[in-house]
Amino acid sequence: MTSLLPRLCRIPCNPCVVPSSSSRHYSHLLSPVARPLRPAPIGPIHANSLFWERDRKGGYNSTQPPPSRWQLLRDGLRELRQEFALFEQEWREKLASDALVVFRPGETDVVFNFERQEQLDRWVVTSDRDHNQGYSDARFELGPAGFGVFHGMLESRVPKDGRIKRSGYANITSQRIRKSFKRDSFYEWEQYNTLVMKVRGDGRSYLINLASEGYYDILWNDIYHYVLYTRGGPHWQVVKIPFSKFFLASKGRVQDSQAPVPLNRISSLGFSVGARGGHDGQFRLEFDYIGVEYDPSHTEEFAYEMYQQQKYIVAT
């Protein structure tokens, strides 16, 4: 498991707020920076003050107005029917006990297909336009030949609001798998060591994202990345990337303390593309399938060197 200490050391901590009576008696001992402007009771501290994350999406929440109580009741009854159906399917699979125990080398177990629209509905498409951070546009649609097509327009033009500095990105992410009644679940890929996909790109480089949401809130944004290089042209390419090549990042920052991918806690898979470096314009990435494979010839556990540092050293 990834060590929490390096990231805890990098998070600034503000001094605790003292009661108003104490600040009145000892305000002359405080420096001008630390001295409170006015007495204030102890209350909730913002997320950037301590280690607590405010929400799982990091502030990227929907701007839609909340639904009415009647709408919530109607949607809840509809979902209740789906939850019982999913619960029944879980018990059918459990009673069947048809677990795969033999993994044939070189045989790909397909996880994602893109032949029908309901399979594409398992993916969420986002771009900077959705968060009022840019003007890029992205779509994930079913192509005429029966393949999933991730395409759109990247634009690095920044909104003139004085807040956004960089723009121009698009992303697709698979919906998180779950059990019935909203219970968390994960892809269990411990027996595999290679990610396999058949794609047809436009010559751009895309970023593969393996989300591994940890138990603690500071690990909610742990994502393992690797680059998908496409060659363009009319031909398909079968890409095989060992899981040992993926590196850890959190909120877009590559972590100094690296660790192998926890293959028993993969919650979602995603692909990102950006316009950084003057790569504005159209993009197009087609998917035939995405799966996993066990390659006995690949024995590497982790591709990156690790250095043991003293725990009190910051950013190790």
pLDDT tens sequence across 156-169: 999 988 888 889 99
What does the alpha-carbon distance between residue 107 and residue 207 come to, in Å, rounded to a whole number?
A: 25
Please give the residue that has the higher pLDDT: either 65 or 5: 65
What does the alpha-carbon distance between residue 213 and residue 175 come to, in Å, rounded to a whole number?
A: 13
Q: Is the dihedral of CA 87, 91, 94, 98 positive or negative?
A: negative
What does the alpha-carbon distance between residue 125 and residue 138 come to, in Å, rounded to a whole number?
A: 7
E strands, 104-246, where?
108-113, 123-127, 137-142, 148-154, 169-174, 178-179, 183-184, 194-200, 205-211, 222-229, 237-242
Place of tokens 């994202």: 209
What is the radius of gyration, based on Cα positions, of the chain? 24
Residue 257: what pLDDT? 83
Residue 276 DSSP SS3: coil
Residue 237: what pLDDT? 95
Domain contains 303: no
Residues 6+ apart with CB under 8 A from 222: 2, 211, 212, 213, 214, 248, 249, 250
Count of domains observed in the chain: 1
Q: Which tokens go with 56?
A: 């799982």
Residue 57: what pLDDT? 65
Domain contains 22: no
pLDDT at 177 over 50: yes
Residue 1: what pLDDT? 47
Beta-bridged to residue 295, according to DSSP, are none
> pTM for this one?
0.74
Domain contains 123: yes
Whichever domain contains 134, its CATH number is 2.60.120.430
Residue 71: what pLDDT? 87
Residues 6+ apart with CB under 8 A from 107: 293, 294
Terminal Cα-to-Cα distance of the chain (whole angstroms): 15
* Average pLDDT estimate for 260-282: 92
For residue 78, report the phi and psi dihedrals to the nearest 5 degrees: -65, -40
Residue 256: what pLDDT? 82
Contact, 141 vs 235, CB < 8 A? no
What does the alpha-carbon distance between residue 175 and residue 269 come to, in Å, rounded to a whole number?
A: 8
Percent of the chain scoring above 70 in pLDDT: 74
Residue 54: what pLDDT? 61
What does the alpha-carbon distance between residue 52 and residue 86 come to, in Å, rounded to a whole number?
A: 33
What is the residue-averaged pLDDT of the chain? 79
Domain contains 302: no
* Average pLDDT estimate for 309-314: 62
What does the alpha-carbon distance between residue 113 and residue 11 come to, in Å, rounded to a whole number?
A: 41
Contact, 223 vs 250, CB < 8 A? yes
Burial of residue 290 (number of CB atoms within 10 Å: 0-12, 13-18, 19+): buried
Residue 23: what pLDDT? 39
Domain contains 119: yes
Please give the residue that has the higher pLDDT: either 270 or 11: 270
- Tell me: the pLDDT tens digits for 59-95? 666 666 788 888 888 888 888 888 888 888 888 877 7
Domain contains 167: yes
Total count of residues recorded for the chain: 316
* Domain of residue 284, residue span: 102-294
Please give the residue that has the higher pLDDT: either 314 or 32: 314
pLDDT at 8 over 50: no
Domain contains 25: no
C-alpha closest to that of 169 among 139, 138, 141, 199: 138
Domain contains 128: yes
pLDDT at 47 over 50: no
- Tell me: the pLDDT tens digits for 106-133? 889 999 999 999 999 999 999 999 888 8
- Tell me: the pLDDT tens digits for 185-223? 889 899 999 999 999 999 999 999 999 877 777 777 899
